[in-house]
Structure 1
Amino acid sequence: MKFKFSLLATSAVAAASFAAAAHAQTASGTAAAASNTIEELVVTAEKRQQNLQDVPVAISAFTSEKRDLIGVNTITDMTNFTPGLEYNVQNDRNTLRGVGRNTNVHAAQGSVAQYSDGIYTSSTVEAGKTPLFVDRVEVLRGPQGTLYGRNSIGGAINIISKRPTDDWYAEVRGQYQNYDHSILEGAISGPTFIPGVDFRFGANWEKQTEGWYKNTVPGMPSEGNVIDTKYVEGQLKFKFNDRFDGWMKLAWADWHNDGGGPGSRNSYSPAPYANFEVANPPQVMNAGYACLPGTGVTNVATAGGIPLAQACTNPSASDPRKFASDVPYQVKLTGTMIFASEWTYHFDNMDLKYIAGGTHYHYFLTGPQPVETAPIISYTLPRVLPAGTLGATQTSTLVIPGGGPTVNPRYAFNYQEQENWISHEINLASTDKGPFQWIAGLYYYGEEYRQPVYTTLMDQPSLGLNISSLAGACAFTGGACPNLAGDNRIYDDRPHMQITSKAAFGQIDWQFTPQWKTTLGLRYTRDDMKGEESVRVLCFDASACGVAPEFLGSNFVLDLTQVPTVVSGYPGFPGGVGTPGVSSNTKVDPATGFASRTYKDHWSATTGTFGLQWDPEPDTMAYFRYSRGYKAGGFRVGIDTTLGAAPETQPEHLDSFEVGLKKEFGRTLQANLAVFRYNYQNDQVPITIIPTGGGTALGQSIFFNIPKAISQGVELETTWQPINNLQVLFNYSYLDAHITRGSGVVDPADPTAVAPGAKPLGALTACPTLTTPGCDVFTGDLQRGQNLSGGNLPNAPKNKVAVNVNYTWDFAPGSLIGSVSYIWRDKQYGSIFNRSYYQAPSYDQWDARLSWKDRNNKYTVIAFVKNIFNDLGYEGGAAAARQAGFTPGYALGLPLSNPASAVAVPVNEGIASTYLLTPPRTFGVELQYRFF
């Protein structure tokens, strides 16, 4: 670390020395003089064009030129230079100032609203499009409860496309990086043969064939950003007359990725392989069972024929960029159409604007289940005969190696999103230059999605035969459990939801003196959500489901769908009509075996803002801003749920108080400072309620509403240009986002709250019996909820630092720009339980770029390297789960008079942490050529 800070200081000194020499050279007339000012940036953060320094809101803005200069190529790069912003590529989820969405359940809304050309989108992906397509990205920090009121409780991200030009323009760009990563793209723009109509057309193709993570299983591909993506867009701009103009964009995207793109592998878990994670007990005998000592399994076959010892050793334990998997990740995005349009009629003193658009896509993700599992493709269980099975002469339990069923444990998941949404907004805004400005509008958003997910035992030939039930199960289909359709699906969940949001808003700005301006905005929003969910849950050869296959001697499939402790909502049991958000009891289709129920609810809120702005001099602006933020309630459905007993989550509310200063010092130093405090209520946090004793059950995934939290901090963004051609960017943010009230939640990785730092409620108490509800089967102690007060919110590092030093050397043929960036990010947690196993360490990263531009701006050549020292970086806090196996001896000592009900005894094997990594060292070259 000391060496890296020394290098930073050396780089700054070297840049300053070069600057002094070049400054002297410029003065002698041997090179063209550079402007010693900081460029003004125009943004549309408040739905009208304004200088960034005049907007009384904390904003980080990235123009295409700035992104090329400092190397902001991805959304992760954007987080480095945006105070408070965090982004998880794997889940395509972001947080701002500790307020965010920590799940992919679409029935729970995002906390940071993304608007691509004015159209709301639930994904951040479009912000990562290359600078050839994006004119600028504006990150509005803090709740935008008036103009961007749809679930923008954490902030809003505006993505503004490059638009058609009146004059001809054409450009191509090509890039090649290590890992055989290439990008080819181009755009053309200009007038059409129709007067008043301009066009723009662009296309991008990006491909990477070598992954950032190496698979140690022979014949299996590497993963991590292995991509093949295409993007095409066309635009038209209309000027019908002096009063009426319009614009529209239609885009198409296609992904056929092998282990790359949102959802794919970018994490590692260094823990040894285990049989299962007790936070959500298995429904299958998985591969890790063959690695446990004393199990008696035989005929173990490994993927690629690798030795068993190697198959049972997790390569991530010694190298975070290695893994072993016999099931590859695949990501596809098909049928994607994105439409956006804007139509404006100009009255004498106001504009009437209509913004409309929508998106359709179908996303597919497949991969191994679980992600970290031993590459073992088959093994044979022993045959266990309890004493007396063969007659009175058998006085002890017999274990017959190789006498039991064969298990083929390759297990995979298939996750999909089928999305359709449409957005309409009409607003009327003043355009005169008077002291009183206003805007008013109406907004409508409609979304329909299906999010099916299922898991499959890929190689098990006996699956689907002889479906049986536990005692008392399948009572809702007359005691008969429907067979499978031959698709080997163990878990199959099919949610279908419809969401609408309607709003009316207005904001006025009154410049009541030359130095003072006040802002008042109000918005009323109503959100409606309804839908249905169908699920089927089976169990194959898993002791956790209440029976050990070793005792039976044959494969078996249990239908858990009609077990009320697994699937909720049956008449007479929790989770039916009367449960908040549930509009029907659970019913089972006797033909398919699927259990279904419906959901319906609505939420509404009045939000808004009040602000005071003070401009004591032309280069100084100070402001105070109060904003009320709101995020709709929702449902915890799909992905990893089984019609839970408490599916609904309550809406969030937030009161924000912010003071800021935007100051320019002599046009060579620009500093923007924001100090804020949030009072945050009902933060929606996903939690898994682990199963308790007393019967067969699976983990229940819910949203826990944290009653109260506080987020407060200081953010500084500076641009310093001390002499010609030298520019220094420095950003620092301090964030304290913590829980002030909340308790009673059990940590899934530490149910009895005995880990260091735990804050249990009550004393550790032994279970009366192992079947006592709430009993921890590993320790024999009752589970304990914890006091959450004082814990940090997830993905909220306290400190972030970003520095960029760039210098331009001017020569007769052109200019050479050197750019060095350094970022440092503090530790952060991935859970509301701030324990070591949820903590991602602090990290830093160095990047460098060298750009050559010719004098006529025809071409640019950029050489770059990112993560120079190939350090491990972390996109967010860690995830964690307790691991488990089975004790040797097949439950010896337990009553075995009824072999069909015998259960092997689980044993705690520790807690496994999973870390989300930033990319390794990448380097390459980019060529840009502009025809005209």
Structure 2
Amino acid sequence: MHRKLYFMASSALLAAVLGTTAHAQTANTIEELVVTAEKREQSLQDVPVAVSAFTSENRDIIGITSVADITNFTPGLQYSSQTDRVSLRGVGRTSNVHSADASVSVYSDGIYTTSTVEAGKTPLFLERTEILRGPQATLYGRNAVAGAINLVSKRPTDEWYAEARAQYQNYNHHLLEFAASGPTMVPGITFRIAANWEKQTKGWIDNIVPGFPDEGNVIDTNIVEGQLKFDFNENFEGWAKLTWIEWRNGGGGPGARATWTPAPYPTTEALFSTAITLNPGYGCNPNTSNVVNLSPQGCVNPALTNPRKIASSVPYDVDLNGTYIFASEWTYHFQGFDLRYLTGAVNYNYALNGPTPADQTAPIVAYTLPSLIPGGNLTVRPRYAFNYQEREQWWSNELTLISTGDGPVQWLAGLYHWDENYTQPVYTYLPDEPRVQGPFGVPALLCAQRQGVCAPNPSQRIFDTQPEFDITSKAVYGQIDWEFVPTFTLTVGARYSVDKKEGVEKGRLLCYLVAGCFAAPELNGAVPGGIPPVDITENQWGPRPTLPPGVSGPTTFDQATGFATRPLSDTWKEATGNIGVKWEPDADTNAYARYSHGYKPGGFRIGIDVGFSPNPRTEKETVDAFEVGMKKTFGGRLQTNLAAFYYDYQNAQIPLSVINTSGAVAASEAILYNVPKATSKGVELESIWQPIDNLQILFNYSYLDAEITEGTAVDPVDPAALHARATPITNRANCRAVVYGDTSTTCAADVYTSPRPVVSAAGATTQVSSTPDPNGGFQRVQDLDGNSLPNAPKHKVAVNANYTWDLPAGGALIGSVSYIWRDAQYGSIFNRDYYKSPSWDQWDARVTWQAPDDKVTVIAFIKNIFDDLGYEGGAGAARRAGSIYTPPAGAPIVNVVQGVASTYPLTPPRTYGIELQYKFF
């Protein structure tokens, strides 16, 4: 703490010294920033919406080089670089299921995209990034229930321009970029081309297993982008962009490991998870022998003492190929209005390979299970991995009429259409266990609908799901701005949206080497050929008496492939819109009040970590948002933008696991739980102060109180509600299931927390318990009232001070220091210590030298100066099955819960480097 205070004092002293020694300047004021937040060019200070905006120039000065940096300087914004998911003011998406939409819409040059990756493009590519906070219920209605991120590319220039940039950082990270633009040989057509190559070979996370690669931002990426701008005549103009992106990453990029799990390895037979297979960490159990453990630390998890060390025998690999992004805009200027047509398309193939369950398995590649029968010992090779893919294609069309006159009434109207097709195959597999190829145990019983034939499994997959969906969205919208008296403007907007999602879910599920398959593995060594896998696809994913909502047909089974298939389909409709009033008593003041009704369609929880959920469909989300704000500039030296808001938020779509606690063979059920009611309220301040010439200070602060006001659910980490802060609505004595509206059955058993009757050799009954709490043994529903929404820190602070020192021989030196602080936050709708990430702060600094001729710029920078731990979001957690309760011979072996393992999403460690920019002309 003392070092930080010293650094703050030193920074203040440096600013003061620079301020007293700088050459006299003409008075300079805060630069006006023009945005297109409401689909027409306006000064940021004139827009009656809470907007944060970053130009390429101030990104270079402040050091905003990633989406995470944008998050730090945007009130209410949260982003996870690992999952590529965004939330605003507590409203967001915390699932990677593509049939469930984002809450924050991302528009790249007007074209909606399902990813935030393009927002991380460098300032060489992006002219401006705008974050519109609050429901964009009219103009950006495609799922913009929380807000929108508007990305504006740098465009072709009429004059010749060319620039190259090179950067080197620690961890052997280098970046090369080039851009050029200017006129072509064809009159009226200009071009721009830009390219980027970024590579890092040394990871932020050290893998101590010999021969296996480090992880953490190990990347090798390319971007090539070309643009053409057409000026056909004074009335007709057009623009088109084509981007190619490719990733050949190791353990880096969206999806790769960026987390820390400081917990011992679990040593029970199986984890509490969807995929039913033996946990590699079981090799650390004393019941095994001949263990081959690749870690120099044996069964000790190195993450227990170092957040940036792992022991993993399955490397991460992140690839993106076949990625083409097309966007174009065509405008015809009529008398008094413009006709604008936006169209664009995307195709990409993303693949992620890695270890599973992530961060919780020891790097054990072989061990021997004992047997009570001589000669029945079984060698197990438990290395366990996953493969996740996204194959996406979509096309967007939007036609807009926009008024261009100077009268008191301005208007726009439009039609929108979106068409998407995606497949999202996910599977887990045992690469070293050929026994899971088959034959299978008891096929006549468990593969009955396939004529008693269990199809072979040549890919050695345990869990395999292959959803494929078509998604269409159609909308009509319009907005009117009427200056009904001088200084007062009324805005009214409306949109009607229809969203349809239909597709199929395919999958297969096996059970291998867990007690539930037959009995304890130790007792099955005499099975001919070893313990066979069991195909439980029909047992777990078979048809139900009635079709669940959203399931449009019965489940069928394919004898040749072993896959189950079921169709899903539904349509959601909603009228949204906004009404607001703006008061401008003078040129420097904009006070506004606004009401918006936002909407996000429902979807399906399928793929990734769930198969054939009995409740796959989720309801649509809605938000009624009230906001007041004031944007004020004082004498050109101080600019303050203040907003206060209140949301009535209904049916938030929250991923939730309903875990199997019966002890039998069953997969956990993953759903999108609709939280009935929640509220989000807060205050946000963005300010720029220029107290003296050349010194600029940015200060941003946000207060956010986003909490649930109605809802009940079972905590997957504490299903028996034994935590000190648990709020069960039932007690063990009269436990009745109130889970998800089911009141007809008794509470589900939780055998992992219940007292266990044990029959001794003499026939006497005793009690052995894993917990002294008498309320254990059953799943119990908890009241969610008062819990905060995920990833919603109450307080965020960001400060930047930058000073431009004009050098006597020409050119300039710019010093920039940033400080960010973020409050603690939860990663779940249950506010428990195991879901909580602590508060954290970070210091960054950079120095920029600009040559007298403006052709050369050199930037030296350091981020996370004190190498502190930061947290991108709240923690995840899972019950830690750390030991086995061993009864007398002949009785079943039962897992015992040994606490909870929390997983924290970390920000990068200290990085530093230098960047050279050269403008040819």
Q: TM-score, normalized by length of structure 1?
A: 0.93
Contact 1:521 1:609 in 2 (8 A): yes
> CA offsets, 1:16-55, max 9 Å, x none?
3321221xx32xxxxxx35520000000000000000000
The equivalent residue for 1:904 is 893
TM-aligned CA distance change 1:272 to 1:885, over 3 Å:
closer
The equivalent residue for 2:575 is 606
The equivalent residue for 2:293 is 302
The equivalent residue for 1:550 is 522
Contact 1:283 1:545 in 2 (8 A): no
Question: Matches of residues 693-712 of structure 1 in structure 2 within 5 Å?
Answer: 693=662, 695-712=664-681
Q: 1:766 Cα deviation (Å)?
A: 9.5
The equivalent residue for 2:902 is 913
3-state SS, counterpart of residue 899 of structure 2: strand
Which residue of the other structure, out of 427, 439, 449, is the alignment partner of 1:454? 427
The equivalent residue for 2:757 is none
Give 1:43's aligned amino acid.
V
Q: Distance in 2 between matches of 1:384 and 1:678?
A: 63
Q: Distance in 2 between matches of 1:15 and 1:764?
A: 64
Give 2:289's aligned amino acid.
T
Which residue of the other structure, out of 513, 524, 528, is the alignment partner of 2:500? 528
3-state SS, counterpart of residue 616 of structure 1: coil
TM-aligned CA distance change 1:626 to 1:773, over 3 Å:
closer
TM-aligned CA distance change 1:456 to 1:694, over 3 Å:
closer
**Residue 794 (1) aligns with residue 790 (2):** yes
Deviates more, 1:465-474 or 1:141-150: 465-474
Contact 1:357 1:423 in 2 (8 A): yes
**Residue 865 (1) aligns with residue 865 (2):** no
Give 1:45's aligned amino acid.
A
> CA offsets, 1:851-871, max 9 Å, x none?
000122101000000000000
Give 1:798's aligned amino acid.
K
Q: Distance in 1 between matches of 2:168 and 2:92?
A: 34
Q: 1:813 Cα deviation (Å)?
A: 2.7
Give 2:580's aligned amino acid.
G
Q: Which runs of 4+ in 1 moved over 6 A?
A: none
Contact 1:694 1:773 in 2 (8 A): no
3-state SS, counterpart of residue 67 of structure 1: helix
Q: Distance in 2 between matches of 1:330 and 1:418?
A: 17
Question: Matches of residues 154-193 of structure 1 in structure 2 within 5 Å?
Answer: 154-193=146-185
**Residue 283 (1) aligns with residue 283 (2):** no
Q: Distance in 1 between matches of 2:330 and 2:822?
A: 43
Which residue of the other structure, out of 656, 666, 677, is the alignment partner of 2:625? 656
Which residue of the other structure, out of 409, 428, 431, is the alignment partner of 2:401? 428
Q: 1:477 Cα deviation (Å)?
A: 1.7
Which residue of the other structure, out of 813, 818, 821, is the alignment partner of 2:815? 818
3-state SS, counterpart of residue 131 of structure 1: coil
Q: Distance in 1 between matches of 2:7 and 2:363?
A: 43
Q: Distance in 1 between matches of 2:680 and 2:3?
A: 34
3-state SS, counterpart of residue 797 of structure 2: strand
Q: 1:469 Cα deviation (Å)?
A: 3.5
Q: Distance in 2 between matches of 1:629 and 1:766?
A: 41
Which residue of the other structure, out of 719, 723, 726, is the alignment partner of 2:695? 726
The equivalent residue for 2:759 is none
Q: Distance in 2 between matches of 1:608 and 1:663?
A: 26
For structure 1, list consecutive stretches of 5 or more residues without a partner in the other structure.
27-32, 386-399, 896-902
Which residue of the other structure, out of 731, 753, 759, is the alignment partner of 1:763? 731
Give 2:893's aligned amino acid.
A
The equivalent residue for 2:769 is none
Contact 2:230 2:238 in 1 (8 A): yes
Q: Distance in 2 between matches of 1:135 and 1:749?
A: 45
> CA offsets, 1:67-113, max 9 Å, x none?
00100000001111000000001100010000000000000000000
Q: 1:3 Cα deviation (Å)?
A: 4.3
Q: 1:765 Cα deviation (Å)?
A: 4.1
Q: Distance in 2 between matches of 1:495 and 1:517?
A: 48
Q: Distance in 2 between matches of 1:796 and 1:14?
A: 35
**Residue 735 (1) aligns with residue 727 (2):** no
Contact 1:752 1:764 in 2 (8 A): no
**Residue 749 (1) aligns with residue 717 (2):** yes
Q: Distance in 2 between matches of 1:614 and 1:416?
A: 50
3-state SS, counterpart of residue 372 of structure 2: strand
Contact 1:774 1:782 in 2 (8 A): yes
The equivalent residue for 2:8 is 8
3-state SS, counterpart of residue 221 of structure 1: coil
Give 1:836's aligned amino acid.
D
Give 2:752's aligned amino acid.
F
Q: TM-score, normalized by length of structure 2?
A: 0.94
The equivalent residue for 2:752 is 778
Question: Matches of residues 366-377 of structure 1 in structure 2 within 5 Å?
Answer: 366-372=353-359, 373-377=361-365
> CA offsets, 1:584-625, max 9 Å, x none?
111110111100100000000000000000001111110001
Contact 2:735 2:780 in 1 (8 A): no
3-state SS, counterpart of residue 360 of structure 1: strand
Contact 2:541 2:611 in 1 (8 A): yes
Give 2:753's aligned amino acid.
T
Q: Distance in 2 between matches of 1:828 and 1:35?
A: 43
Q: Distance in 2 between matches of 1:429 and 1:282?
A: 53
Which residue of the other structure, out of 309, 320, 327, is the alignment partner of 1:322? 309
Contact 1:538 1:557 in 2 (8 A): yes
Deviates more, 1:544-553 or 1:847-856: 544-553
3-state SS, counterpart of residue 303 of structure 2: helix
Q: Distance in 2 between matches of 1:694 and 1:904?
A: 10
Question: Matches of residues 587-736 of structure 1 in structure 2 within 5 Å?
Answer: 587-693=556-662, 695-736=664-705
The equivalent residue for 2:437 is 464
Contact 2:349 2:389 in 1 (8 A): yes
For structure 2, list consecutive stretches of 5 or more residues without a partner in the other structure.
737-744, 755-776
Q: Distance in 2 between matches of 1:842 and 1:60?
A: 23
**Residue 876 (1) aligns with residue 873 (2):** yes
Q: 1:474 Cα deviation (Å)?
A: 1.7
The equivalent residue for 2:841 is 844
Give 1:299's aligned amino acid.
N
Give 1:280's aligned amino acid.
S
Q: 1:756 Cα deviation (Å)?
A: 2.0
Which residue of the other structure, out of 440, 443, 446, is the alignment partner of 1:473? 446
Which residue of the other structure, out of 442, 452, 469, is the alignment partner of 2:415? 442
**Residue 892 (1) aligns with residue 880 (2):** no
Q: Distance in 2 between matches of 1:472 and 1:753?
A: 37
Give 2:18's aligned amino acid.
F
Give identity over the alignment, percent.
57
> CA offsets, 1:631-670, max 9 Å, x none?
0000001011110100000000000000000000000000
Number of aligned pairs? Answer: 884
TM-aligned CA distance change 1:888 to 1:605, over 3 Å:
closer
**Residue 344 (1) aligns with residue 338 (2):** no
Contact 2:241 2:328 in 1 (8 A): yes
Question: Matches of residues 349-360 of structure 1 in structure 2 within 5 Å?
Answer: 349-360=336-347
**Residue 490 (1) aligns with residue 486 (2):** no
Q: 1:384 Cα deviation (Å)?
A: 2.5
Q: Distance in 2 between matches of 1:916 and 1:497?
A: 30
Which residue of the other structure, out of 226, 240, 243, is the alignment partner of 1:248? 240
Q: 1:311 Cα deviation (Å)?
A: 2.4
Over the aligned positions, Cα root-mean-square deviation in angstroms equals 1.6
**Residue 560 (1) aligns with residue 536 (2):** yes
The equivalent residue for 2:770 is none
The equivalent residue for 2:802 is 806
Contact 1:692 1:773 in 2 (8 A): no
3-state SS, counterpart of residue 550 of structure 1: helix
3-state SS, counterpart of residue 909 of structure 1: coil
> CA offsets, 1:422-474, max 9 Å, x none?
10000001001111000000000010000000111011132212212388422
Contact 1:86 1:875 in 2 (8 A): yes
Q: Distance in 1 between matches of 2:517 and 2:274?
A: 8
Q: Distance in 2 between matches of 1:892 and 1:120?
A: 62
